[in-house]
Amino acid sequence: MSEEARLRERICTLARSMFERGLTHGSTGNISARTADGGLLVSPTGTSFGRLDPGRLSRFDAAGRQIGGDKPTKEMPLHGAFYQTRGRTAAVVHLHSCHSVALSALPDADPEDFLPPITPYAFMQLGRVRLLPYFRPGDPAIGEAVRGLAGRRSAVMLANHGPVVAGLDLEGACNAIEELEATARLALLLRGTTPNLLTPAQVDELVRLHDIAWGDA
Protein backbone atom coordinates (compact mmCIF):
# COMPACT_ATOMS: atom_id res chain seq x y z
CA MET A 1 0.00 0.00 0.00
CA SER A 2 1.34 3.45 -0.94
CA GLU A 3 1.88 6.23 1.58
CA GLU A 4 -1.08 8.14 0.18
CA ALA A 5 -3.33 5.09 0.32
CA ARG A 6 -2.42 4.61 3.97
CA LEU A 7 -3.21 8.27 4.67
CA ARG A 8 -6.58 7.93 2.95
CA GLU A 9 -7.43 4.91 5.07
CA ARG A 10 -6.27 6.64 8.25
CA ILE A 11 -8.41 9.73 7.58
CA CYS A 12 -11.50 7.56 7.15
CA THR A 13 -10.73 5.37 10.18
CA LEU A 14 -10.25 8.34 12.52
CA ALA A 15 -13.31 10.15 11.14
CA ARG A 16 -15.45 7.05 11.63
CA SER A 17 -14.20 6.67 15.19
CA MET A 18 -15.20 10.24 16.04
CA PHE A 19 -18.60 9.77 14.41
CA GLU A 20 -19.31 6.51 16.22
CA ARG A 21 -18.53 8.14 19.57
CA GLY A 22 -20.91 11.04 18.92
CA LEU A 23 -18.31 13.77 18.41
CA THR A 24 -20.08 14.82 15.23
CA HIS A 25 -23.30 13.69 13.59
CA GLY A 26 -25.14 13.31 10.30
CA SER A 27 -23.12 14.91 7.50
CA THR A 28 -21.47 17.48 9.78
CA GLY A 29 -17.74 18.00 10.21
CA ASN A 30 -14.83 17.94 7.79
CA ILE A 31 -11.23 16.79 7.84
CA SER A 32 -8.12 17.33 5.72
CA ALA A 33 -4.52 16.18 5.71
CA ARG A 34 -1.33 17.16 3.90
CA THR A 35 0.07 14.64 1.43
CA ALA A 36 3.77 13.93 0.94
CA ASP A 37 3.86 16.01 -2.27
CA GLY A 38 2.44 19.09 -0.55
CA GLY A 39 -1.14 18.54 -1.69
CA LEU A 40 -4.24 17.85 0.39
CA LEU A 41 -6.78 15.10 0.94
CA VAL A 42 -10.14 16.54 2.05
CA SER A 43 -13.49 15.07 3.04
CA PRO A 44 -16.11 15.73 0.35
CA THR A 45 -19.11 17.98 0.85
CA GLY A 46 -22.26 16.45 2.27
CA THR A 47 -20.55 13.28 3.50
CA SER A 48 -20.79 11.58 6.89
CA PHE A 49 -17.70 10.99 9.00
CA GLY A 50 -19.15 7.53 9.60
CA ARG A 51 -19.12 6.59 5.92
CA LEU A 52 -16.16 8.30 4.22
CA ASP A 53 -14.79 6.43 1.19
CA PRO A 54 -10.98 6.55 0.93
CA GLY A 55 -11.14 6.53 -2.86
CA ARG A 56 -13.54 9.48 -3.07
CA LEU A 57 -11.70 11.97 -0.85
CA SER A 58 -11.09 15.26 -2.63
CA ARG A 59 -7.47 15.47 -3.82
CA PHE A 60 -5.64 18.77 -4.31
CA ASP A 61 -2.14 19.32 -5.66
CA ALA A 62 0.48 21.55 -4.03
CA ALA A 63 -0.80 24.56 -6.01
CA GLY A 64 -4.31 24.17 -4.59
CA ARG A 65 -5.91 22.73 -7.74
CA GLN A 66 -8.35 19.87 -7.34
CA ILE A 67 -7.03 16.91 -9.29
CA GLY A 68 -9.30 14.09 -8.13
CA GLY A 69 -12.11 12.86 -5.94
CA ASP A 70 -15.50 14.35 -5.17
CA LYS A 71 -16.38 18.01 -4.60
CA PRO A 72 -14.70 19.13 -1.36
CA THR A 73 -16.30 20.48 1.79
CA LYS A 74 -17.64 24.01 1.56
CA GLU A 75 -15.31 24.85 4.47
CA MET A 76 -12.21 24.80 2.23
CA PRO A 77 -11.49 28.51 3.00
CA LEU A 78 -11.30 27.57 6.69
CA HIS A 79 -8.90 24.68 6.09
CA GLY A 80 -6.82 26.68 3.63
CA ALA A 81 -6.39 29.53 6.10
CA PHE A 82 -4.75 27.23 8.66
CA TYR A 83 -2.41 25.66 6.10
CA GLN A 84 -1.45 29.09 4.78
CA THR A 85 -0.78 30.74 8.13
CA ARG A 86 0.64 27.83 10.13
CA GLY A 87 3.33 26.31 7.98
CA ARG A 88 3.79 23.22 10.14
CA THR A 89 0.13 22.21 9.87
CA ALA A 90 -0.28 18.65 8.58
CA ALA A 91 -4.02 18.20 9.29
CA VAL A 92 -7.14 20.21 10.11
CA VAL A 93 -10.28 18.84 11.77
CA HIS A 94 -13.62 20.61 12.19
CA LEU A 95 -16.47 19.06 14.21
CA HIS A 96 -19.96 20.04 15.32
CA SER A 97 -19.44 18.60 18.80
CA CYS A 98 -22.27 19.11 21.26
CA HIS A 99 -20.65 20.43 24.45
CA SER A 100 -18.25 22.85 22.80
CA VAL A 101 -21.07 24.35 20.73
CA ALA A 102 -23.22 24.69 23.86
CA LEU A 103 -20.39 26.43 25.72
CA SER A 104 -19.86 28.84 22.80
CA ALA A 105 -23.49 29.94 22.98
CA LEU A 106 -23.26 31.13 26.59
CA PRO A 107 -23.07 34.92 27.02
CA ASP A 108 -20.02 34.86 29.31
CA ALA A 109 -17.77 32.83 26.99
CA ASP A 110 -14.29 34.40 26.86
CA PRO A 111 -13.31 35.17 23.23
CA GLU A 112 -9.58 35.19 24.01
CA ASP A 113 -9.49 32.08 26.18
CA PHE A 114 -12.52 29.94 25.42
CA LEU A 115 -11.67 26.95 27.64
CA PRO A 116 -11.28 27.39 31.40
CA PRO A 117 -8.07 25.91 32.93
CA ILE A 118 -9.67 22.78 34.37
CA THR A 119 -7.06 20.16 33.41
CA PRO A 120 -3.52 20.41 31.99
CA TYR A 121 -4.36 18.45 28.86
CA ALA A 122 -6.21 21.17 26.98
CA PHE A 123 -3.21 23.48 27.38
CA MET A 124 -0.78 20.74 26.36
CA GLN A 125 -2.67 19.89 23.17
CA LEU A 126 -4.37 23.16 22.21
CA GLY A 127 -2.81 26.18 23.85
CA ARG A 128 -5.34 28.99 24.19
CA VAL A 129 -8.47 28.56 22.09
CA ARG A 130 -9.86 31.67 20.40
CA LEU A 131 -13.64 32.00 20.19
CA LEU A 132 -14.57 33.50 16.83
CA PRO A 133 -17.99 35.08 16.20
CA TYR A 134 -20.74 33.34 14.28
CA PHE A 135 -20.32 33.00 10.53
CA ARG A 136 -22.62 31.29 8.07
CA PRO A 137 -21.26 27.80 7.32
CA GLY A 138 -19.05 27.96 4.24
CA ASP A 139 -18.68 31.74 4.46
CA PRO A 140 -15.22 32.70 3.10
CA ALA A 141 -15.10 35.25 5.93
CA ILE A 142 -14.32 32.36 8.30
CA GLY A 143 -11.05 31.87 6.45
CA GLU A 144 -10.31 35.58 6.65
CA ALA A 145 -10.94 35.53 10.41
CA VAL A 146 -8.47 32.66 10.84
CA ARG A 147 -5.93 34.43 8.64
CA GLY A 148 -6.34 37.47 10.85
CA LEU A 149 -4.86 35.46 13.72
CA ALA A 150 -1.59 35.31 11.74
CA GLY A 151 -0.91 31.71 12.73
CA ARG A 152 -0.93 32.45 16.46
CA ARG A 153 -3.59 29.86 17.37
CA SER A 154 -3.76 26.15 16.60
CA ALA A 155 -7.42 25.93 17.63
CA VAL A 156 -10.47 28.12 17.27
CA MET A 157 -14.08 27.75 18.29
CA LEU A 158 -16.66 28.99 15.79
CA ALA A 159 -19.53 30.36 17.88
CA ASN A 160 -22.80 28.40 17.53
CA HIS A 161 -21.05 26.14 15.01
CA GLY A 162 -18.10 24.02 16.15
CA PRO A 163 -14.38 23.70 16.96
CA VAL A 164 -11.51 23.64 14.46
CA VAL A 165 -8.03 22.35 15.23
CA ALA A 166 -4.83 22.36 13.18
CA GLY A 167 -2.28 19.70 14.11
CA LEU A 168 1.30 18.73 13.41
CA ASP A 169 -0.03 15.34 12.32
CA LEU A 170 -3.40 13.76 11.68
CA GLU A 171 -3.65 11.82 14.93
CA GLY A 172 -2.54 14.87 16.92
CA ALA A 173 -5.25 17.05 15.38
CA CYS A 174 -7.93 14.44 16.16
CA ASN A 175 -6.70 13.95 19.73
CA ALA A 176 -6.61 17.69 20.33
CA ILE A 177 -10.13 18.36 19.09
CA GLU A 178 -11.40 15.53 21.28
CA GLU A 179 -9.64 17.18 24.23
CA LEU A 180 -11.37 20.45 23.37
CA GLU A 181 -14.78 18.78 23.45
CA ALA A 182 -13.99 16.93 26.70
CA THR A 183 -12.90 20.16 28.38
CA ALA A 184 -16.04 21.96 27.19
CA ARG A 185 -18.11 19.16 28.71
CA LEU A 186 -16.28 19.53 32.03
CA ALA A 187 -16.87 23.29 31.93
CA LEU A 188 -20.60 22.75 31.54
CA LEU A 189 -20.69 20.12 34.29
CA LEU A 190 -18.95 22.53 36.67
CA ARG A 191 -21.10 25.53 35.80
CA GLY A 192 -22.65 27.16 38.84
CA THR A 193 -19.98 25.74 41.17
CA THR A 194 -16.66 27.15 42.39
CA PRO A 195 -14.14 24.58 41.10
CA ASN A 196 -10.43 24.59 41.87
CA LEU A 197 -8.95 25.63 38.53
CA LEU A 198 -5.29 25.51 37.54
CA THR A 199 -3.44 28.54 38.87
CA PRO A 200 -1.58 30.97 36.58
CA ALA A 201 1.70 29.54 37.88
CA GLN A 202 0.62 26.00 37.00
CA VAL A 203 -0.43 27.12 33.53
CA ASP A 204 2.91 28.92 33.03
CA GLU A 205 4.73 25.72 34.01
CA LEU A 206 2.80 23.75 31.39
CA VAL A 207 3.55 26.33 28.73
CA ARG A 208 7.25 26.17 29.55
CA LEU A 209 7.62 22.41 29.89
CA HIS A 210 5.55 21.47 26.84
CA ASP A 211 6.72 24.20 24.45
CA ILE A 212 3.20 25.47 23.89
CA ALA A 213 4.39 28.55 22.00
CA TRP A 214 3.26 26.86 18.76
CA GLY A 215 -0.27 27.07 20.11
CA ASP A 216 0.19 30.68 21.29
CA ALA A 217 -0.61 29.85 24.86
Q: What is the pLDDT along the chain (217 residues), one digit of tens a residue?
A: 899 999 999 999 999 999 999 999 999 999 999 999 999 999 999 999 999 999 999 999 999 999 999 999 999 999 999 999 998 999 999 999 999 999 999 999 999 999 999 999 998 999 999 999 999 999 999 999 999 999 999 999 999 999 999 999 999 999 999 999 999 999 999 999 999 999 999 988 888 887 665 444 3
Which CATH number covers residue 72? 3.40.225.10
Verify whether residue 121 is a known catalytic residue: yes
Name 181's Cβ contacts closer than 8 Å, sequence gap at least 6.
Answer: 23, 95, 97, 98, 99, 100, 163
Between helices 140-147 and 76-85, what is the axis angle to 10°? 20
Q: What integer pLDDT is reported at residue 214 of this predicted model?
A: 42
C-alpha to C-alpha distance for 185 and 102, rounded to whole angstroms: 9
Q: Among the options 83, 121, 134, 205, which is catalytic?
A: 121
Verify whether residue 83 is a known catalytic residue: no
Name 43's Cβ contacts closer than 8 Å, sequence gap at least 6.
Answer: 11, 15, 29, 30, 31, 32, 49, 52, 57, 58, 72, 73
Q: What integer pLDDT is reported at residue 100 of this predicted model?
A: 98
CA distances for 62 relative to 6, 40, 157, angstroms:
19, 7, 27
**C-beta separation of 126 from 179 below 8 A:** yes
Q: Among the options 4, 9, 20, 75, which is catalytic?
A: 75
- Number of domains the chain is built from: 1
Tell me the pairing of strands 30-34 and 91-94. Answer: antiparallel
Q: What are phi and psi of 60, to 5 degrees?
A: -115, 145
Q: What integer pLDDT is reported at residue 216 of this predicted model?
A: 45
- Give DSSP secondary structure letters for 22-56: TSS-TT--EEEEE-TTS-EEEPBTT--GGG--GGG
Query: Which domain does 135 fall in, by range?
Result: 3-215
Q: What are phi and psi of 41, to 5 degrees?
A: -110, 130
Q: What integer pLDDT is reported at residue 212 of this predicted model?
A: 64
C-alpha to C-alpha distance for 36 and 33, rounded to whole angstroms: 10
Q: What integer pLDDT is reported at residue 123 of this predicted model?
A: 87
